[in-house]
Each structure stands twice: as structure tokens, then as C-alpha cells.
Structure 1
Amino acid sequence: MTGAPRWASLLLCLLQSTSGRPRLAPPQNVTLLSWDFSVYLTWLPGPGNPQNMTYFVAYQSSATPKQWRRVKKCAGTKELQCSLMCLEKQDLCNKFKGRVRAVSPRARSPWVESKSMDYFFEVEPAPPILVFTRTDEILSVNATYQLPHCMPQPDLSYEVYFWKEGTGNEVRNPFHAPRLGPLPHSPTKPQCSSPSKESLLQEAFPAYPS
């Protein structure tokens, strides 16, 4: 009978080791990054994980802090980034954050969360597209930018610099140019401010600055 407790302990140990699902190392450096008016959740693989990793992503809005929503387009992705723009039931007027976990055929990692982002205070704008039209005495510049289809019109303005080519002084006459006119917009777009899918700046300069 003295061997019974020993066998019972061994059996219990085996049951505990097989009952739980094996864990992978969690993704590293989970971060929300913004460029060109968009937001991406980025991460690095967990150390020591096998090569056949896939990842699952979810996001959470500050308006519903107890609810995580799956990002369907990134379910099972092998990439190390996921776009968090124009998601189902997403409201860019509220802060949000993302999380990611690694999954293999036999194991998965814990979720790892990013810090929250306040979109309209932290978004990185895209550079405008410039079109120049020159007459004998006037140089006209049209500047446009294209927004994601779900994004309300941000409060943007342009700073315009121009100078005469060949002069040693690069910036001749910097000035602020806030003349921004909204173009037609979609009525289904969420609105935190004046909505516009695309905005246009028009400004004219002397063709030959002194």
C-alpha cells in the first residue's frame, strides 16, 4: 500500500500537465502606430516560438471598456501588423487600443495589449498631393489629401513655403494658409467635426518672388 500514494501523485502530475493548453511566448513590443491618417497595431514574435505562428487581433473602445471586438480581417494573419481603421462599430471619436495573441496548431500565447490612442490628437497626417498651374505672373497650387472612408474631417490647415530657385535662401516667405474648402462627403460617415472625404487648398503666389 505504500506505493499507492506515490502512483497517485504521479498520476495527478500527469493529469495537470496535459489538462491545460500549452502556452507560447507572448508577442513583443505591441504598439499602435499611425501614418497616412491610418492606425496599425504592430508587434514582434515572441522569443522561442516556432515558425508556423498565426496571430489574432482584437480592439477595445473607451466607450465599451469591458468589450473586446475581434478584427476579422486579421484573424489568423501571419503578418506582424494589422490595420485598425474602419472597423465594425468603431467610433474614432473615442480612445481605443488593440491586443494580439500568437496561436499555433497546439498552443497559444496570452493576449498582449497596446496603450490607448486618441485618434484625433495622435493621428499622423498624409502628405498632400500638389498640383501646380503657372501663368505668366501667377503660380497656383492645389493641394488635396484623401482620408479613409470612415474618418470624419479633421481640423487641418496648411503651412505653405515657397522660394526662388537658385537663391541661397531656401525659405523665402513662409506663411500660414488656412483656406480649406470641404468637397462633397458621404452622409454615412461618423461626425466628430465638419465631415469631408477630401479637402482642397487653393493658393496663388507671384510667379517670380522677389
Structure 2
Amino acid sequence: LLIAFGFTVQRDYILSTQYQQGFWTDVSRLCPDMTQDTVILVEDASLARVEHMNPFAGQFARILGFIYKFPEAWIEPDNLRQSSQPKVLRLNSNWQANILIDNNLLRLDRKTLVKTRRNTPKSQLNSTNVIFLQAHQGQLVRKTDSLVIDDKTAQFKQNSSNLKMPPFEKGVLYPYLINDLSNQSINYLSTGSQEEATDQYEDENSI
């Protein structure tokens, strides 16, 4: 029984790695125009899980800083909140009820993001430097139209570049998390309803 469990964990570890590779490759492909202070949002419920681990938990918001070498002026190693490097954040299941404070003004805190530590202060962000990624017909796509909730509207960052990938030097995790674009990545999107990973915390300086 113990041996069988070991094989299951090993299988989940391999699958988790493949999910991460597929996801971060798509983030790079869909967001080649990421720049200083860009925030990339994705719905947590759209990301698949494996039985014994969550491939998208942990230091999730910091990962782009290890895939790419951003300018040193953008980096605050001890406080990601003060860092202006691009970062990816996961939206919780109730984000639509709380995210729009005003036109083009987003609320990014515990009410909209996957559970953060209690001492994370409220954060407001202009949507025009925010990229919204969403699952559509089994693929991750970039939202190009406006988000409209009640009487408020948010316009997201538009890609006016001809870039296919972000124009930054490759970081230490690039060869491990970015697939060749000519290769088909594994499907890392959820195929059904799943419980939100509320037992996982983002770093307290994740925003």
C-alpha cells in the first residue's frame, strides 16, 4: 500500500510539473507585452488540480521573476508588494462581486484574490495595465473586451506589440517552465467544478 501511494505521489508530481509548464508557456505567449507594474489575472477555479498537490499554489506571484530577468529597478527581493515586476495573481470564486470599485479601478485583496494573509492591506489598481486571462473552449485566452459589472466598466491592457514572447533575458526557471511553442502542452485547465484552494496562502506581499 505504501509503495502504491509513493507511485501515486510521483505521478502527481510529474503531472503537476506538466501543468505548470503548460500554464506558464501560455502566460508568456498571451502576455508578450508585459511590462513594469503589469498584473496578470486568472481565475483560480479554471486551473486543474492533482490529487496530492496544487500546482498553482505557493510562491505563485513570484514565478515570473524567476522565468525572466526583469530590470533590477523593478525588483524588491524582500517585498513583492513594493516590486514593480510583472506578476500573476489568482482570482477567487467571488471576485466578480467585489472587483470593480469604479470605472477602470480594480480591487485586489482578500475579497477578490485567493486567500491572502490577514495583514495584507487593501490594494487598488488601474485596469489599463492589467491583463485578464480566462478559460474559453478548453484554452486559456486573453480578454480583449471590457469587463462590465452593473454600471461599472474596466478596460484591460491591449497588446499593440508584434512580440511573440516577452523580450526579457531568460531566468533560471525558463528552461523548466517554458515549452517550445511548436510543441503541444498538456491541458492544465479544470474540466469541472472544484473546491477553491482556500488552504493555500499567497505570500503576504503578493500584490
Query: What's the TM-score bracket when you normalise by the shorter of the two chains?
Result: under 0.3
Larger helix share, 1 or 2:
2
TM-score by length of 1: 0.21
Q: What TM-score do you get using the length of structure 2 for normalisation? A: 0.21
Choose 1 or 2 for highest CA Rg: 1
RCO (CA 8 Å, sep 6+): is it higher in 1 or 2? 2
Structure having the larger proportion of residues in strand: 1
